[in-house]
Amino acid sequence: MTIHFERPIGASADLHELEYISALHQTCPKQVRKNGSITAADIRMLLTSRYGVVVDEDTIKTTVMSGLGGGDSEEEIVDLMEVVSLLLIPTILKCSRVETDKKSPLSGPLPEGVLPPEPDLMKRILKMILEDVTGDAIPKRLDKELIARIFEAFGEMDLSRDEELHEKMIEAANPSGCKNPVLDLEAFANGLVQDIQEYDLKNEIRSTTNFDDVLLTRNMSEIVDDQVVEPSRELTIEDVKEKNKRATPLSMERTAQAVDSTSGNYRNKYLLIMLVSTVIITYFAYWYHRTLFDTSEMCPEYVYDYYSPWTTNTGTIACEIFFSILSWLGTFFVFSLFGLFFVGLGSVGNGVSNTRVWAPLVGLFIVVLLVVPAYLGSENVRGKGLLDTASLLMGIVVMLLHGFNFIVVFLRPQTIEKYPRLKRILRSSRLADRQDMKRAGQVKTNRMVKNALEIRGSSDRGILGSHFACGLHNFAANIDPVEQFGGFRWTWRKLMDNSIVDTYGVWFSDRLLSGNICQYIVSIYVLLAGIQFSLYVLEEYSKDDAKSYVHDVTQFIFDPESNQEMVELFLANFTGLLANYLGNDVGNCSEADFPIDAVETFCNYSSGIYSCDQNATIDYLCSFSNGVTADQSQLDVSQQLALLAASGFNVSALEEAIELSLEEAGNASVDSLYPSSEYMIRIPLIIGTATAFLTSVYLAVTFLPSTTSTILRLRCGQIPTMANEEFNKYRCAPDQVSVILGSMFWGCFLSSILVGGFVGVLVFISLWQATVYFIARVIALFIGVLAVALIRLCMLTVCRITLYRGMYRERPAAANISLVALEWANFSLSVGFILVRMIKIIIAACMFIGRIDTPLLAPKVGKIGGLELDNYPTIFMKDLLQHEAHRHPYLDTLSVMYLYKLRYRDSFGSKAGSSWRLLFVYALMPWMHKYRIQVENDMGFLLQGIVETTRTRLSCVGFAISDGLVELDDEIPESSEGGDDGSKIFRKEASVTKSNCTHLEKENQELRNQVALLMKKQETLTETIRTLEGAIGSTPDCESKDTEEESGDEKEQRP
């Protein structure tokens, strides 16, 4: 998966993101609901997992669903349109402040720092509703009939018949109780915001959690003498007490916030990241080597025979398997307890809701206990190593962050506000990232509203006759603009200016960041370890040591029994030669002087070939000579050697001589194979170390850009979620994300070693005297293939230009002949291409061992049945989706609305207010209506209304050509600004020829051209109707034959 991509940024991308958060929000066990609906169980799980709120589903149905979902039945759900209405609550509140009359109670300036809404947003929405329902934008009397008509216009037939709801909506829009209210901007604003006044717009600019904003839990203990809770809140004691009177207590459970990596409920993210990294480095610095042991030492009664089959070593293997299981179980539980103790207790006091002053000091003490004694008590004879120093320095950073937490909890917020420098230092402990995420939610909502308004275009209803239909048409015909997103430089630039958080709302989990920190540590370690190893090899690895090492390796690799057999073979050859010599050259055993001659020949003590025992008898020589020469099979080598030894020959010296000869031959081979020059070792080591270092650095620096790219692709729909049949696999086995941290660490290390080693070996065999000849031949072969490939490329370029156009051939015969020739020519070159491909794939595979963030295998390629060969990209995606389900800005806003509703019950959110906001969404984003959950008859009514309205407008500009006559409508609508020139000319010609329709065929050819243009327009509009019908989701019979079957009355009404 590439890091750089083109991301759509229009209304269609916003719709995909809404589908995405719906898929995240759903908790159904099998497959996500394609209609995007949210149930009470989904809301309960979000609140429990995110905040630890304990609430039953019945309570959610009677509070959240009835007040924010628009109903109170047991089957009630919150559909995607209602989700959008909840997301727009802050925006609607801002509009009510800036757009209403200054004398209105709703009017007021926005708090400093709060993002303003789109200009005149509420006014434009009201205008669209009135024009679609009443025909103009003049405020009409607000009564049940008007509200019913509005609901009917949008296809909400159930709501249009609910008179009790209509009364409540009128009461909400008319809080002053006027006798004859009208639906003007003031009434519209009242209806939209009357029930959500509990929401505080300043939540957006506070460095507080959502839980604090809703429940005011932290601030109750921060009231000072001037009766102000916090400077940004402007709430007095009386305000807080009044809110608490209207509030309902919430039941909570502990969530271990300090180590909550899933929802990020820790105070200081960097503290947890550095603590995890410190524990890992400390473990490898002091304890890892102590946990390593040889399982063979556990089985001393068994001796492993390295050169025998499995059956011979069954007992040894079984013993080692048993102790291997025990050792790994011990490592598993010991390391688990190690992490629980130091990470769990070391993060005490880092919970986001912690108000106990002593808690950060406990965490600080645990960190001191982790790193300081180990550093002071290390017995490394070479001094303090890299890991020792890194452990201590990182531990000091964690201690400082604990100190920051202590200061923030100990001091009052008012005190910190007085000192800007201290405020900047303590930013990470003051929940500034929470403020950034809240701001990102509003940035994204504003962008969604802006994109919707851009789709709507001008304020005119257009040729389709309604804003609703025009909105649907524009959305279906619109092609979203794209922006260049992702990439290395783009991501790091956004990280540096923090816009990746406060603008895009990307929340990186501490697990991924800890793993990324470890990857940077691995990079430094690989570089320093490679340099140290290279110096050791070059300075201390002498040739004698190399010989000894090669000899040991040779003795281990090759069977010692084979070496003994070789010695015996030499001895057998020797004894055979000796027997032949004695029998043929020295004499016959029957002769009396044979023993004397043999002794003089072989045992001349002054210059004899072999040393002989002077006291030994030589009578056995005859037996030796006769036994060998008479029948070779009578005596084996050991018997022959025994006769020789009895005859006085020093057989052991003979064996030693043969062994010494073999060893000297081996040493000669080592000398010939050992690199003849130092550069043959130095250059591969340097290149291999540099390659390994660059590989680890590449894996580290591309991880966050790749993660960001994946998140943004998910949000804009480039990676399908709700419509993806396989999306459910990401919601299964969420505990698998626990392998990510270790996989990132070891994957980066092994990947860098493999790539560096592979490149180093390639360089070495290119310089080694034993292989340089073969490499030279390979290079010559490669150059030859490359030269031919270049010539081939030139020929292909000419052929492609002259013979082909796209997928077709201009000259088929020449193309066929050239294709046959190239096919067989390429057959000879393919061996080189395949070798190059093999090397590239091997290097890529080695590098992708450390890339758990992106798949190496294509989709469905690495899957055999239910087994996924490389499931780490799937696990990585699970981790991203888990954090998105808790920290996505939209879900963050939704959870706040749920909390407000549960906290303030009837004081926040009502069915009447939710209905007003639902109409707001209908007018702003009409394409969302396909996700509106309602009865099929209502949807059919909506569809029929749209189709009939569209056909009526088409009849106004319709025409029929019969015998050269064109029928024109008297009421040709004025086109919107920016209409095409054809429609303007058509209206001009229509006004001239209206009084003499029967003679239209005699008009000039220009009018006929305009008629043809309008025919195309009619075809376009007919196609638009079908597109709208498909967008609505229903398929009534709307073929052209329906248009032809008009009643005679309709035709007669035309002039």
pLDDT (tens digit per residue) in 546-589: 656 666 665 555 555 555 666 666 666 666 666 665 555 545 55
Q: How far apart are CA 558 and CA 427, in angstroms?
A: 65
* Mean of the per-residue pLDDT values of the chain: 76
User: How many percent of the chain have pLDDT more than 90?
Assistant: 23
How far, rounded to the nearest angstrom, does the alpha carbon of residue 554 sit from its chain's CA centroid? 48
* Residue that wins the pLDDT comparison between 1008 and 129: 129
Q: Would you state the pLDDT for residue 855?
A: 84
* Residue that wins the pLDDT comparison between 234 and 503: 503
Q: Which residues share a beta bridge with 965?
A: 962
DSSP SS3 for 933: coil
* Residue that wins the pLDDT comparison between 1055 and 610: 610
SS in 3 state form for 934-957? Answer: CCHHHHHHHHHHHHHHHHHHHHHH
Length of the chain: 1055
Q: Are 64 and 53 in contact (CB under 8 A)?
A: no
Window from 663-672, 702-711, 951-960 with minimum mean pLDDT: 951-960
Q: Tokens representing 310?
A: 């499995």
Q: Would you state the pLDDT for residue 564?
A: 60
Q: Tokens representing 775?
A: 């490499």
Q: How far apart are CA 745 and CA 457, in angstroms?
A: 52
Q: Determine how many CB atoms are found less than 10 A away from the CB of residue 613.
A: 14
- C-alpha distances in angstroms, 724 versus 150, 402, 404, 717, 858? 36, 44, 45, 10, 17
Question: Taking 70 as the threshold, does the pLDDT of residue 995 lie above it?
Answer: no
Kindly provide the residue ranges of all beta strands, DSSP E only, lying in 909-1016, ordered along the sequence: 961-962, 965-966
Q: Are 319 and 302 in contact (CB under 8 A)?
A: yes
> pLDDT grade, residue 763 (50/70/90)?
very high
Instruction: Classify residue 748 by burial, with Cβ atoms within 10 Å: 0-12, 13-18, 19+.
Output: buried
Residue 623's contacts (CB-CB under 8 Å, 6 or more residues apart) are: 643
* Residue that wins the pLDDT comparison between 24 and 588: 24
Instruction: Classify residue 1010 by burial, with Cβ atoms within 10 Å: 0-12, 13-18, 19+.
Output: buried
Strands 863-864, 867-868: parallel, antiparallel or unpaired by DSSP?
antiparallel
Q: DSSP assignment, residue 264?
A: T
The string of pLDDT tens digits covering residues 171-211 is: 999 988 888 889 999 999 999 999 998 898 888 888 888 88
Q: How far apart are CA 131 and CA 122, in angstroms?
A: 14
> pLDDT grade, residue 938 (50/70/90)?
very low
Question: Of 536, 537, 519, 538, which Cα lies nearest the Cα of 752?
Answer: 519
Longest alpha-carbon distance in the chain: 157
Window from 397-411, 442-456, 619-633, 972-986 with minimum mean pLDDT: 972-986
Question: Taking 70 as the threshold, does the pLDDT of residue 526 lie above it?
Answer: yes
Q: Are 303 and 316 in contact (CB under 8 A)?
A: yes
Average pLDDT in the 859-876 region?
80
Instruction: Classify residue 561 by burial, with Cβ atoms within 10 Å: 0-12, 13-18, 19+.
Output: exposed
Q: Tokens representing 323?
A: 């102790």
Question: Taking 70 as the threshold, does the pLDDT of residue 764 lie above it?
Answer: yes
Q: Tokens representing 540?
A: 């201390």
SS in 3 state form for 964-987? Answer: CEECCCCCCCCCCCCCCHHHHHHH
